Amino acid sequence: MHGHDVIVIGASAGGLTALKVLFEHLPADLPASIFIALHVHADSPALLPAILEKAGKMKVVMATEGARMRHGFAYVAPPDRHLMLDRNGIRLSVGPKENGHRPAVDPLFRSAAMAYGPRVVGVILSGMLDDGAAGLRAVKACRGTTLVQDPIEALYPGMPRNALAYAQVDYCKPVEKLASLLVKLASEQVADPDNFEVPESVKIETQFAMMERTMKDMKSLGKPAEFVCPSCHGSLTEMNDGTMLRFRCHTGHAYSAEALFAEQSSDLEEALFSAVRAVDENAALARRVAERYGAGNPRAKAEHETKAEELDKTAKILRKLIVSRNGEAVRK
Mean pLDDT of each 10-residue bin along the chain, 332 residues long: 94 97 97 97 91 97 96 97 96 95 97 98 96 96 98 97 96 98 96 93 92 78 89 88 86 91 87 92 93 87 93 93 71 44
**Which pLDDT belongs to residue 159?**
97
Q: How many domains, the chain?
A: 2
pLDDT at position 328:
55
Please give the Cα distance from 39 to 239 (Å, whole number). Answer: 24
The pLDDT, as a whole number, for residue 288 is: 92
Same domain as 276, residue 174: no
Both 159 and 19 in one domain: the answer is: yes
Domain end marker among 169, 187, 205: 187
Whether 321 is covered by a domain: the verdict is yes
> Both 275 and 178 in a single domain?
no
Q: 135 and 30: one domain?
A: yes
Q: Is residue 13 part of a domain?
A: yes
DSSP at 126: S
**pLDDT at position 322:** 87
Question: Both 19 and 107 in a single domain?
Answer: yes
Helix (H, G, I), strand (E, B) or coil at 34: strand
Task: Examine the fold and report which residue of 141, 158, 187 is the final residue of a domain before the chain moves on.
Answer: 187
In DSSP terms, 61 is beta-bridged to: 75
How many whole angstroms separate alpha carbon 141 and alpha carbon 163?
14
Active site residue 39: yes
- Do 136 and 278 have their domain in common? no
Q: Would you say residue 320 lies in a domain?
A: yes
Kindly state whether residues 24 and 132 are assigned to the same domain.
yes
Q: Is residue 315 part of a domain?
A: yes
Which of 129, 161, 187 is the C-terminal boundary of a domain? 187
The CATH number linked to 19 is: 3.40.50.180
Q: Which of 142, 97, 61 is closest to 259 using CA atoms?
A: 97
Res 71: pLDDT: 97
Residue 274: domain span: 260-331
Which residue among the candidates 39, 101, 253, 304 is catalytic per the annotation? Answer: 39
Task: State how far the alpha carbon of 278 is from the alpha carbons of 58, 128, 266, 312, in Å.
Answer: 56, 33, 18, 11
pLDDT computed for residue 240 by the predictor: 72
List Cβ neighbours of 270 (8 Å cut-off, separation of 6 or more): none
- Asked, for residue 241, whether it belongs to a domain, the answer is no
Q: How many CB atoms lie under 10 A from the CB of residue 180?
A: 12
CB 27 within 8 A of CB 158: no
Q: Which of 12, 93, 201, 256 is catalytic?
A: 12
Q: Are residues 266 and 181 in the same domain?
A: no
Active site residue 274: no
- The verdict on whether 170 is a catalytic residue reads no
Is residue 245 assigned to a domain? no
Residue 214 lies inside a defined structural domain of this protein: no
Same domain membership, residue 41 and residue 170: yes
Identified catalytic residue from 5, 106, 130, 131: 131
Using alpha carbons, select from 162, 173, 124 the residue that is nearest to residue 257: 162
Asked if residues 185 and 121 have their Cβ atoms less than 8 Å apart, the reply is yes
Q: Do 275 and 182 share a domain, yes or no?
A: no
Q: Is residue 198 part of a domain?
A: no
Q: Given strand 254-256, what is the order of strands in its sheet?
A: 222-228, 235-239, 246-249, 254-256
